Amino acid sequence: MSDLFSKLQPNNGYVIAEIACGHEGDPTKLKKLIDCVVDSECQIIKFQIFKTFERAIKGHKEWDIFSKLELSDNDWKKYIAYAKNKGLSVFADLYGHDSFSLAKKLNIDGYKIHSEDLLNTQFILEVCKSKKIVMIGVGGARRKEIIEIVNKIISHAPHSKIVLMTGVQAFPTPIDAHSINEVSDLISKYEKYNVKVGFSDHVDGDLKEAFILPIMAFSAGAGVIQKHITLNRKDKWIDYHSALSFNDFKVFIQQIKLLCGLLHNIGSMNDYEKSYRKMFKKSPAFSNNFDKDHVLQNKDIVYVKDAENSIPVASHTLIGKKINTSVSKNQLIKLNTLSPKIGAVIVARCASLRLPNKALIKINGRES
């Protein structure tokens, strides 16, 4: 997907289908989830690519958990190629140099650095120099830490494609632990550096707010939303807590496409607005019979509905105008019933380099 970074605008409604560890270390489940994302017409999918030693210490319970979820390099090669062949852009969470090295070999389209590595400056700079989109998790980060890493990136990896991702994961995260204002606040601070802001939604997938919060984030200016997906929440696969079941996810994507289109820049009137204007706008009419040369006053003008005509003229532009023919009560005031006041606009070029303001210079002491 060419120049995806520039397209990350609220009105485009880009959603990242977050797989996380929802495959449970099973390539067959991974393929099913990829197919679900393709069928939903979501455009971006994200995986967590990691080596167990990057996420846990041997002998601790986390080691037992992540070692069962780790997929082989060959599995990742096979199914990332599968996702790309299906037309998806593929992003990956990185947890260290080994996962980054693998992701580069697999030609991943974009990366995400977990907020646990926000202080790992050298690693972040290394990833940013890839010139790919880099999403940086800022959940639980202090503002000082965010500005410091952004300044480092600007200084040492200019032209990086950075997206600051808000949100924390609490399996699931309570609604009041999300912040929509954080999105707009970060945009106001970092947009000038060409840094975009995204929203990581981790609300309970059974709640109606799982549909509402992301739309609120887009309305606040988020350029991209991260949303977890699972095959069926009732199966309780790993990381299902904030995930939508496939059928709900598909409806969610349809809603995003429909509603985010309303966030486009204001332009000319659409056909519905033009029709509405023609149907409901009142037109000016004469409040009484008047003879030719009568000068209109405020009391001479009323506004009426007319089934055939819609004359968009404001009353203040009519006051003081002279009528050029006899008119009847309730007759629509059209411009051809008024004596026009003719004026002229003189345009003069004053930006000459050889003779600045030459149009204003007097000739023989007289205004020219």
Residue-wise pLDDT tens digits, 307-334: 788 888 999 999 999 999 999 999 999 9
pLDDT band, residue 290 (cuts 50/70/90) = very high
Helices (H), the chain: 4-7, 27-40, 52-55, 61-69, 73-85, 97-105, 121-128, 143-156, 181-190, 209-219, 246-260, 271-280
Phi–psi pair at 191, nearest 5 degrees: -60, -35
Q: What is the CATH number of domain 268-368?
A: 3.90.1210.10
For strands 301-304 and 283-286, give the pairing.
Answer: antiparallel
The owner of tokens 């037992």 is 64
What's the CA gap between 54 and 63, in Å, rounded?
Answer: 10
Is the pLDDT at 147 greater than 70? The verdict is yes
Residue-wise pLDDT tens digits, 337-357: 999 877 787 787 777 777 777
46 vs 31, 141, 157, CA distance in Å? 13, 22, 24
Residue-wise pLDDT tens digits, 16-31: 999 999 999 999 999 9
Residue-wise pLDDT tens digits, 225-259: 999 999 999 999 999 999 999 999 999 999 999 99
Nearest to 152 by CA among 118, 114, 108: 118
pLDDT of residue 357: 78
Helix, strand, coil content of the chain in percent (nearest 5)? 40, 20, 40
pLDDT of residue 2: 57
* Domain 4-263 falls under CATH 3.90.15.10: no
Q: Which residues contact 19 (CB under 8 A, 6 or more apart)?
A: 30, 33, 34, 37, 45, 46, 47, 48, 228, 229
Q: Where are the domains positioned within the chain? A: 4-263, 268-368
46-60, 139-153, 328-342, 343-357: range with lowest mean pLDDT: 343-357
pLDDT of residue 348: 76
> Whole-model pTM?
0.85
What's the CA gap between 117 and 293, in Å, rounded?
Answer: 81
In the predicted model, what is the mean pLDDT of residues 261-275? 91
pLDDT of residue 346: 79
**Side chain identity at residue 74, one-letter code:** N
What's the CA gap between 267 and 261, in Å, rounded?
Answer: 13
Pick 277 or 77 by higher pLDDT. 77
Q: Which residues pair with 16 in a beta bridge?
A: 44, 226
Residue-wise pLDDT tens digits, 154-212: 999 999 999 999 999 999 999 999 999 999 999 999 999 999 999 998 999 999 999 99
Report whether the peptide linkage leading into residue 172 is cis, meaning its omega lies within 30 degrees of zero: yes
In the predicted model, what is the mean pLDDT of residues 93-108? 97
Sign of CA dihedral 141, 144, 146, 152: negative
